[in-house]
Amino acid sequence: MGVPVCVIDDEHSIARYSRYTTHFITVPSLREERHTVDTVLEISQRLNLEGWVLYPTREETVAAFARYRSLLCPYFRVPTPEWETTQWFWDKRKTYKLAADLGIPTPRTWYPNALEDLEQVTGDPPYVVKPAIKEHFIYATKVKAWRANDRTELRQFFQRAAAQVQPGEVMIQELIPGGGAQQFSYCAFFKDQKAIGSMMVRRSRQHPPEFGRASTFVETINLPIIEELSVRFLSAINYYGLVEMEYKLDLRDGQYKLLDVNGRTWGYHSVGQTAGVDFPHMLFTDLVEGPVRPQCARVGVKWIRLLTDMPTAALEILKGRQGWWAYLRTMHNIDVESVFNRDDIFPGLAELALFPYLAIKRGI
């Protein structure tokens, strides 16, 4: 689109090798919120980036931009909402409370403060042990959650999780049975209580398979019920910007249950451009050039990240949860590969070269 791009990262990033990257700045760390904001402001002054649009790509960056928005706004266009809005999806305890108030289904969830509180957890295992705020937990464990198959594992995983997060941040959830066929997301550019750009997808495969940190195969679909639930939630917090909301269909009661809300760009957003909704460009246009024409993604567009999808599928096939022929059928007529692009080949080559580093650093 002819828009210059500056990437700021504290890891070896394949974005460095893209022909569309105007500036690539490596910094020591982007973990601590105020330090991140100071770093971005210093780079802005050095490179004369005043008036540029900020796109956060990590949870902790979203929090940093929201908490210190007043410091950033004089120099940047900041789509990340104020903390009063962001807090509702940053902390899952608030997310699920608001969802309950709005009549949006969620998995049964408990919030134990100590080992003795685990007696309050009812129902049969397996359970899911996860953090209410995932920022530090994921860096320490390289996973989003643990599966506890019995009460002994529940105690063990609770103690491990409690050692990684602040008191009261460990959540216990019922595990909704089923795999990728029941995983869905609603994606949007949201403004003024409605979606200007919208897309719904089935997230058929993810890595790791059970509690995926990232999708590996998605396909655009039409599923009005998750759109209705999502608009209800986003309107209630007066949300602005790009957002992905994750759901899982519980076949036991037929409800689509909200799992997570991501107030940032998400891994497979590039499927939107092929499907007719270019989310990053819509946001840029709205902030820089003026009103955006409403767009809705067409159905049946497939996106894949081969580097993680193939080993994920192979593992599922070996465990008997996926058939070879069923997998090969999904590979027919792929529309978008997440990284490999004939017009910009070097990021894909860099990803192959960096695979050992990424496997250690991120657990892929």
- Supply 278's token pair: 């270019």
Q: What is the rounded distance in angstroms from the CA atom of residue 86 to the CA atom of residue 239?
A: 8
The residue extents of the domains of the chain are 6-87, 108-174, 180-333
- The DSSP element (H or E) to which 184 belongs, if any, is strand 183-191
The domain defined by 108-174 folds into Dna Ligase; domain 1 (3.30.1490)
- Supply 270's token pair: 């590039």
Query: Tens of pLDDT along 255-284?
Result: 999 999 999 999 999 999 999 999 999 999
SS3 content of the chain, % helix, strand, coil (to 5): 40, 20, 40
CATH fold match for the domains 108-174 and 180-333: no
Q: What is the rounded distance in angstroms from the CA atom of residue 330 to the CA atom of residue 325?
A: 9
Which residue type does 327 have?
A: Y
Chain centroid offset of residue 348 CA: 21
Q: What pTM does this model have?
A: 0.94
3-state secondary structure of 73: coil
- Supply 303's token pair: 């996106």
CATH number of this structure's domain 180-333: 3.30.470.20
**pLDDT tens digits in sequence order for the chain, 364 residues long:** 999 999 999 988 899 999 999 999 999 999 999 999 999 999 999 999 999 999 999 999 999 999 999 999 999 999 999 999 999 999 999 999 999 999 999 999 999 999 999 999 999 999 999 999 987 788 888 888 999 999 999 999 999 999 999 989 999 999 999 888 899 999 999 999 999 999 999 999 988 777 877 899 999 999 999 999 999 999 999 999 999 999 999 999 999 999 999 999 999 999 999 999 999 999 999 999 998 999 999 999 999 999 889 988 888 888 888 888 888 888 889 999 999 999 999 999 998 898 776 666 665 5
Distances (CA, A) of 340 to 191, 269, 344, 347, 350: 32, 15, 8, 7, 10
Query: Tens of pLDDT along 352-363?
Result: 898 776 666 665
Q: Answer for the pair 212, 220: CB distance below 8 angstroms, yes or no.
A: no
